[in-house]
């Protein structure tokens, strides 16, 4: 099985849409009329969660009407936020067929189908025309991509000159063995961590100028502490455990341990197409 198929299999649930809707309904949500905010507890699994998405959009200066490509869009949380809160026109792509199906279904329930669409695609070979987008985003995706150079080259091709590319990934920060399983990979076979310096080098080679690099470790630690306190108060299971399964607890323990130990750092890089 090649890497792309292994990655898609890692994220495939089998009954994801029903599980999400049942979970939301149990939480008192009207599943026939959802909002992007209603879904934020179940569709923003990157470190920093919805707060990181909000900060990311602000730093990218996403504007009304901007054409945005979201690479590795998952079930669509950030893409829906970009459309609902920032007024963007968003196309999301993902390797996992179930994610694409669920993302489109949830977007329809949010009344955002005219602003957001999702397609099954590999980021190393995009089907879009040159200069088709104003902005591209990639949130906690690069860890699953061995050939980042090919992805960055394709992103540069489909961005107009001056367009922004925002990357928010977990990156290698220190020496030592990273514990598995992690949220993005069950083993190192499908985990391709790189340092921020490597990202910057590959982005520059693809035709980007780096505008900023931000280490979000402190931001994430503070939010994680807040989420733990809220979970203890509510007494209920975390929604990511319900959606992603019982081994997510170990994955979450491992990623936070690696973060605390300085092995990894959630890092945001914003680059401009030149």
Which domains does the chain carry?
A: 3-273 (3.40.50.150)
3-class SS of residue 17: helix
- 85, exposed or middle or buried, with CB in 10 Å at 0-12, 13-18, 19+? middle
Query: What pLDDT is attached to residue 241?
Result: 57
- Adjacent-strand bridge partners of 171: 265
Q: Which residues pair with 119 in a beta bridge?
A: 93
| pLDDT score, position 238 | 55
pLDDT for residue 6: 63
Do residues 109 and 33 make contact, with C-beta atoms less than 8 angstroms apart?
yes
Q: What is the pLDDT of residue 234?
A: 60
pLDDT for position 242: 57
Show the tokens assigned to 28. Answer: 């008192």
Residue whose pair of structure tokens reads 């402190």 in the numeric block: 218
Per-residue pLDDT for the chain (274 aa), expressed as one digit of tens each? 577 666 656 556 668 888 889 888 888 889 988 888 888 878 888 999 999 999 999 999 999 999 999 999 999 999 999 999 999 999 999 999 999 999 999 999 999 999 999 999 999 999 999 999 999 999 999 999 999 999 999 999 999 999 999 999 999 999 999 999 999 999 999 999 999 999 999 999 999 999 999 999 999 999 988 877 776 666 554 555 555 666 888 999 999 999 999 999 999 999 999 9
pLDDT of amino acid 86 = 97
pTM of the model: 0.91
Neighbours of 42 (CB within 10 A): 22
The pLDDT, as a whole number, for residue 40 is: 84
């Amino acid at each position: 099985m090649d890497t792309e198929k292994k990655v898609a299999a890692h994220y495939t649930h089998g009954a994801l849409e029903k599980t999400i809707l049942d979970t939301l309904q149990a939480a008192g949500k009207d599943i026939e009329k959802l909002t992007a905010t209603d879904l934020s507890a179940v569709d923003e699994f990157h470190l920093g969660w919805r707060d990181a998405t909000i900060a990311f959009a602000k730093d990218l200066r996403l504007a009304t009407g901007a054409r945005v490509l979201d690479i590795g869009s998952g079930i669509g949380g950030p893409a829906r936020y970009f459309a609902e809160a920032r007024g963007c026109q968003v196309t999301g792509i993902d390797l996992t067929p179930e994610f694409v199906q669920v993302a489109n279904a949830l977007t329809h329930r949010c009344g955002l189908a005219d602003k957001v669409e999702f397609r099954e695609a590999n980021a190393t070979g995009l089907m879009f025309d040159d200069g088709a987008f104003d902005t591209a985003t990639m949130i906690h995706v690069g860890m699953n991509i061995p050939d980042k150079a090919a992805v960055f080259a394709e992103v540069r091709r489909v961005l107009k000159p001056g367009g922004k590319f925002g990357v928010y990934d977990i990156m290698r920060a220190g020496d030592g063995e990273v514990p598995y399983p992690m949220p993005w990979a069950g083993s190192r076979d499908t985990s391709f961590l790189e340092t921020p310096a490597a990202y910057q080098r590959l982005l520059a080679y693809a035709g980007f100028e780096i505008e900023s690099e931000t280490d979000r470790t402190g931001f994430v630690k503070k939010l994680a502490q807040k989420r733990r306190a809220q979970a203890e108060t509510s007494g209920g299971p975390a929604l990511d455990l319900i959606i992603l399964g019982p081994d997510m607890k170990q994955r979450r323990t491992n990623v936070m341990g690696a973060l605390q130990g300085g092995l990894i750092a959630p890092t945001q890089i914003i680059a401009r197409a030149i």
